[in-house]
Structure 1
Amino acid sequence: MRVAMISMHTSPIAQPGSGDAGGMNVYVLSIATQLARKGVDVDIFTRATRPSQGEIVEIEPHLRVINIVAGPYEGLSKEELPTQLAAFSGGMVQFIKCNNLYYDLIHSHYWLSGQVGWLLRDLWGIPLIHTAHTLAAVKNAYRAADDSPESEARRICEQQLSDNADVLVVNTEDEKNELIAHYDANDCHISVITPGADTELFTPGTDRNTERSRRELGIPLHTKVVAFVGRLQKFKGPEVLIRATAELFKRDPQRNLRVVICGGASGETSNVQNYHDLARELGVEHRIRFLDARPPQELVAVYQAADIVAVPSYNESFGLVAMEAQATGTPVVAARVGGLPIAVDHDVTGLLIDGHGASQWADALAQLLDDDERRIHMGEQAVEHAAKFSWAASAQELLKVYEEATKIDMSECHGPRQAAGI
């Protein structure tokens, strides 16, 4: 089987945790890698952002990343990428024609890629599988009050994909229900495939690992540590943790606690300095350590150095950070939103919080920070919980979806289905 994956707006080999790179990058590369190891030939098409990378990047046998030139290499924001959809589509067509390639199906990731996939599906007469990862209607429903809404143009494009993709792949039943509720999607066209975690990379740390990790990160050895990992944008909620930290020290100025926030700016409205300023304004700047985004191989040390990982997002399609943290044996305190109730087993591997108030988050963090026995037991159970999720298992389920999709009769008239909500 040959699969054309499309990840137009961000490369799967980009550094997660800053810019537009995040959990989706990890998802695409991880699932593609496991498919390749099952003998599927996968080409991932993405927009070229620097000429030095070359047109074709060989990742491993059966897996390549193809960099398509569409617009300037740098200085083009995600909001401006719709202007390059035609150029990107044309670049894909030219590459495939020049290399005499064929594909059995297309799998697009995110709505921009989906628009390209929709065009090529009808051009080539092969099935289109689409994974949204995030949805405008859902983000707008759960966004923070002072966060910028997603555009109506994006919502319309997502509606078109919901109406026209042959298969919609989602991470959870909750995400499936959101597609049906907000986009009137046909549940017969939706497949739920739970993502995984790299449980070979993210492993539990010994006391020696924890000490080494803290020394490398410049964190005192004999202190409690709460970590946040992710892009520094309002939707991920880093300010929730900063305000909760201030509340903890307001209650107990002598509390022995350090907070690590690991990630970079994301989007035009994101500014890392704003989070530094907030910590200074609340009087906790000396209690919080800001770290730049780092590759997964280095994130292991951050997770192992932490006693708790906080995931205060306003929505998550799954919650990859929560799963990676648990795989290292670190319990998680997370918002009860999106797929996080699946990623975190409440009161077993961590705590789920309703809402984003500083007081309620301080309460939850204090519960685990002040109860060593409970927290350590949760960490042990977290490893067992994370072991149930693997990228190999996810890829096996996705391969079944692919095999079924290739049986679709593409010779029939394949015009758009009813476009509800536009």
Structure 2
Amino acid sequence: MTPRRIAFYAPLKPVDHPIPSGDRQMARLILRALEAIDPAEIGPVEVASGLRVYDGAGDPAAQARLSAAAAAECDRLLSLYAAEPARRPALWLSYHVYYKAPDLIGPAVAHALGIPYVVVEATRARKRLTGPWSAFAAAAESAIEQAALVLCVSARDRHAVEAYGPPDQQVAMLPPFLDLPPAIDRSETASPPRLLTVAMMRPGDKLASYRLLADSLSRLAAQPWTLDIVGDGSAAAEVSALFAPFGQRVRLLGARPPADLAAHYRAADLLVWPGLNEAFGMVYLEAQAHGVPVLAIDNAGTGTVIRDGVGGRLTGPTAQDYAAALSALLADPSSLHALGHRARAHVEAHHALPAAAQRLRGLLTGLMS
């Protein structure tokens, strides 16, 4: 009987990538959840490859180079498993597969070995089958279709996977999760209330969220508040310009290592991040786990981890909507404080690592039997 082992791979951002992000954190958390399962049931877990397959620009030449590198990785792994049968996996699990970061390794290796292929967080974007990402989009679609099991983190992704997937494909939910920090007894809301933003600074939806936040705060100049922003990236200059008019009310703290973030959460009264087109946003879970309520735009991603009125508030899509919700929260410190208490309880009940480990155990052991 072949020993049970799981091969893990994160094509978008490897677990040892030097730049922190929600993708890297979620990949690491999935590894931790797998490692929390009794090894007698699923065997050891090994990161199969550190090759990053990501094209954010829609460059066919870059896609061709990455495809060649992935083919070489497939050959390396198959040679490794032939030479060392004890390392041969019984199941392959990949995290986050979509048109900018398709899995070019897992499906080929799983097919060659005749083992189940599993994807956590698959995004199907069939409109990308034409255009500059057409080759990568086709590879992502093929990988997702080959999966024996697709675990979705949002209802939006699940709908697309089920709508276009093969009839015999198993699809299930795996709500985003985290390893809970110690619970703390938070003090009453500060005066003035301390707002916090934790987000990368890059063009696209992130910069658009910063613009919406700055626009919202400009409407609340008469209300008391301060804002700390933790983050950095290629759009840092644009973000700095957006918040310069607020003077000392806004502090740009730059990037901070994950270990330092806990102190910022403990000092905050409310996390403010619009989250335009967020897949789900790990920062919302982190804040709620520290007893900090959150304020975000209502969409399919943010609604995955924020329950309106429980751990935070969800608003309409405009700066006027966001400013109105923020104004109401700032004007009612007792309500803000109560939201924070409910936030921690919500994450404990629905988004903790032990529950995710048990869900993975139940789903994966059946495939490996």
User: Percent same amino acid among aligned pairs?
Assistant: 22
In the other structure, the counterpart of 1:225 is 194
Instruction: Work out the CA distance in 1 between the residues paired with 2:198 and 2:84.
Output: 40
In the other structure, the counterpart of 2:58 is none
Structure 2 matches for 1:359-398, cutoff 5 A? 359-388=320-349, 389-398=351-360
RMSD (Å), alpha carbons? 3.1
In the other structure, the counterpart of 1:275 is 239
Instruction: Work out the CA distance in 2 between the residues paired with 1:121 and 1:273.
Output: 44
Cα drift, residue 294 of structure 1: 2.9
- Which residue of 112, 133, 145 corresponds with 1:123? 112
In the other structure, the counterpart of 2:170 is 189
- Are the aligned partners of 1:110 and 1:131 in contact in 2 as well (CA < 8 Å)? yes
Count of aligned pairs: 348
In the other structure, the counterpart of 1:306 is 268
- Are the aligned partners of 2:123 and 2:160 in contact in 1 as well (CA < 8 Å)? no
1:235-267 per-residue CA deviation (whole Å, 9 max, x = no partner) reads 553543454344434453x433222222232xx
1:169 aligns with 2:151: yes
In the other structure, the counterpart of 1:178 is 160
Provide closer, same or farther for how the CA distance between residues 124 and 309 of structure 1 changes in structure 2, counting only shifts above 3 A.
same
In the other structure, the counterpart of 1:103 is 89
Provide closer, same or farther for how the CA distance between residues 150 and 26 of structure 1 changes in structure 2, counting only shifts above 3 A.
farther
Provide closer, same or farther for how the CA distance between residues 24 and 79 of structure 1 changes in structure 2, counting only shifts above 3 A.
farther
In the other structure, the counterpart of 1:264 is 232
Cα drift, residue 94 of structure 1: 4.1
1:338 aligns with 2:300: yes
Provide closer, same or farther for how the CA distance between residues 83 and 365 of structure 1 changes in structure 2, counting only shifts above 3 A.
farther
In the other structure, the counterpart of 1:354 is 316
- Are the aligned partners of 1:10 and 1:46 in contact in 2 as well (CA < 8 Å)? no
Cα drift, residue 114 of structure 1: 2.4
- Are the aligned partners of 1:195 and 1:391 in contact in 2 as well (CA < 8 Å)? no
In the other structure, the counterpart of 1:329 is 291
Q: Which moved more, 1:337-346 or 1:380-389?
A: 337-346
In the other structure, the counterpart of 2:278 is 316
Instruction: Work out the CA distance in 1 between the residues paired with 2:185 and 2:65.
Output: 43
Cα drift, residue 230 of structure 1: 2.5
- Are the aligned partners of 1:228 and 1:260 in contact in 2 as well (CA < 8 Å)? yes
Instruction: Work out the CA distance in 2 between the residues paired with 1:322 and 1:84.
Output: 35
- Are the aligned partners of 2:201 and 2:231 in contact in 1 as well (CA < 8 Å)? yes
1:152-177 per-residue CA deviation (whole Å, 9 max, x = no partner) reads 33322221123211111111333211
In the other structure, the counterpart of 2:140 is 158
In the other structure, the counterpart of 1:203 is 183
Provide closer, same or farther for how the CA distance between residues 337 and 32 of structure 1 changes in structure 2, counting only shifts above 3 A.
same
- Are the aligned partners of 1:136 and 1:150 in contact in 2 as well (CA < 8 Å)? no
1:29-67 per-residue CA deviation (whole Å, 9 max, x = no partner) reads 122223223224111134269xxxxxxxxxxxxxxxxxx
- The 3-state SS of whatever aligns with 2:47 is strand
In the other structure, the counterpart of 1:84 is 69
1:126-147 per-residue CA deviation (whole Å, 9 max, x = no partner) reads 1100123555469x8xxxxxxx
- The 3-state SS of whatever aligns with 2:118 is strand
Provide closer, same or farther for how the CA distance between residues 247 and 29 of structure 1 changes in structure 2, counting only shifts above 3 A.
closer
The code of the aligned residue for 1:275 comes to V
- The 3-state SS of whatever aligns with 1:191 is strand
Per the normalisation by structure 1, the TM-score is 0.73
Provide closer, same or farther for how the CA distance between residues 230 and 7 of structure 1 changes in structure 2, counting only shifts above 3 A.
same
- Are the aligned partners of 2:220 and 2:323 in contact in 1 as well (CA < 8 Å)? no
